[in-house]
Amino acid sequence: MGNSHFFINLHYHPLLQLFSALCIISSIPFSDSEIKNTRIIEDSRPMILFERFGFAQAGHVAISIKDVSWKSKQKNSELDPSSMGFFLVREESYSRILNESMYTEHFCVISSHFVKLIFKFEEISVDSTYNGSVIIDNPDEYSLVFGNCQPEFEVSMNVHTEMYNIKGGRKDFLPAGQTQLPKLYFLFFLIYSGYFTIWVYICIKQRPTVNTIHLIMGALLLVKALKMICAAEDKLYVRRTGTPHGWDIAFYIFGLFKGIMLFTVIILIGTGWSFLKPYLQEREKKVLMTVIPLQVLENIASVVIGETGPAMKDWLTWNQIFLLIDIICCCAVFFPIIWSIRSLREASKTDGKAARNLTKLTLFKQFYIVVVGYLYFTRVVVSALGSVISYKYEWVMAAAAEGASLAFYFFIFYNFQPIEKNPYFVIDEEDEAAAVQILEDDDSFDL
């Protein structure tokens, strides 16, 4: 019984933390390399997740460690080097490991039958260098983990890792499920570039009706296209060399501007700025001034996540910050839309323009529903999709997210384009009485 409690306290929670970290990795897209150098400093965590990788047949894992040292947090503790080491584990093996631990005396995860051991620290000495590698015989998605069954010892070391598949006689550093991403991102770059060209043509043709919001929308398309080409080049270089060679920096920069501009466009359209009124109210300015700094902080968190990896102690904390800020921003954009719908609803009762207000209400109600659907799909449905599809089709998540984004862009750009006689806003005066009746009977406009 004592041993069982020992494992539960020492290993059960680390496994759950490791599993939650893997779930977070699958739900947050970020640019990263598959050749990594990680510095571990006085770390006593029972398990340290380094990365997750989808292997094809005969995939390779290579690890080089140097400057290894450890110190005890307790006096008179004796180190057993065989209780520390690197191993690979599949996601499906966690439940088996937990079950095995409950029926194994003095259980150590490194010695589990359900992990693929790379090497133990008994093979190295203090301040030495060691190189280890394994070939994957059973293709699957594996997590590279460092296990420490003596957490009273703090470990320090420099770790160099390489994970890759062999394709066409060359190293392919992209996971098996991401090999289609360079082509996918380049395709979306072409689509957004073409869309930007069309938008510029529309704005020039309808120059008298172009508002400032239309220029911001055009800039959003341009930044989105640049982000897609940087993402494509990033993945292409990682695939060939294992590192992005600076393309990740451009990716982060355009990702920052895209995030800021997307939420700005949604908020400005939601307030009716340039469409319903030429100014922003104080509360609407506050929403905008809150979301923009949050987007900056969210992108800082994204950079930290992408450049450090899960081996960093605060990596999960940054992920939680990233998700929390994203939720706050998504919730904040709804307030201006709701305020606009309520204002139009109230105006319809007093200004004698029920028909015109009805068309505006209908459009803003559709906009509200589409924003909700878009945010829910890209934040929840895509993540759920990643938990059910095979690791070989990880690119489908990116395709679904980008496809939903493209559909959302089509909706807002089509409905709010600079057209002098917009059919959404023009209704004959003879329909006024019918519109009044609809607004009185239909409570779906009340939010």
In this predicted structure, what is the pLDDT of residue 426? 47
Cα distance between residue 235 and residue 252, in whole Å: 13
In the chain, ranges of CATH 2.60.120 domains: 2-172
In this predicted structure, what is the pLDDT of residue 130? 85
Provide the CATH number for the domain formed by 2-172 in this structure.
2.60.120
In this predicted structure, what is the pLDDT of residue 266? 92
Q: Are 44 and 102 in contact (CB under 8 A)?
A: no
Cα distance between residue 269 and residue 257, in whole Å: 18
In this predicted structure, what is the pLDDT of residue 422? 46
Burial of 92 (0-12, 13-18, 19+ CB in 10 A): exposed
Using CA of residue 334, residue 336, residue 340, residue 343, what is the dihedral sign? positive
Question: Which CA distances in Å does 383 have to 20, 154, 378, 387?
Answer: 13, 35, 8, 7
In this predicted structure, what is the pLDDT of residue 399? 96
DSSP 301-344: HHHHHHHH-TTSTTHHHHHHHHHHHHHHHHHHTHHHHHHHHHHH
Cα distance between residue 308 and residue 295, in whole Å: 20
In this predicted structure, what is the pLDDT of residue 144? 92
Beta-carbon contacts of residue 252 (< 8 Å; ≥ 6 apart): 31, 299, 302, 303, 306
From 417, 435, 438, select the one nearest 206 (Cα to Cα). 417
In this predicted structure, what is the pLDDT of residue 12? 43
In the chain, ranges of CATH 1.20.1070 domains: 176-445
DSSP 250-318: HHHHHHHHHHHHHHHHHHHHHHTBTTTBSS--HHHHHHHHHHHHHHHHHHHHHHHHHHH-TTSTTHHHH
Cα distance between residue 273 and residue 25, in whole Å: 38
Burial of 137 (0-12, 13-18, 19+ CB in 10 A): exposed
From 233, 232, 223, 229, select the one nearest 255 (Cα to Cα). 223
Architecture of domain 176-445: Up-down Bundle (1.20)
User: What does DSSP say about strands 153-167 and 170-172: parallel, antiparallel, or unpaired?
Assistant: antiparallel
Helical (H) or strand (E) element with 40: strand 35-43
pLDDT of the chain, 447 residues: tens digit per residue: 333 333 334 344 465 555 555 555 555 544 456 788 999 998 888 888 898 899 998 899 999 998 888 888 877 778 888 889 999 999 888 888 888 878 777 888 888 888 999 988 887 876 678 888 899 989 999 999 999 988 889 999 999 999 999 988 899 999 999 999 999 999 999 999 999 999 999 999 998 888 888 999 999 999 999 999 999 999 999 999 998 888 888 999 999 999 999 999 999 888 877 666 667 788 888 888 999 999 999 988 888 888 888 888 888 888 888 889 999 999 999 988 888 878 777 766 554 455 566 667 778 888 889 999 999 999 889 988 988 899 999 999 999 999 999 999 999 999 888 876 544 444 444 444 554 455 555 555 455
Strands of the 47-54 sheet, one edge to the other: 47-54, 141-148, 84-90, 116-120
Q: From the CB of residue 57, how many other CB atoms can be counted at a distance below 10 Å?
A: 12
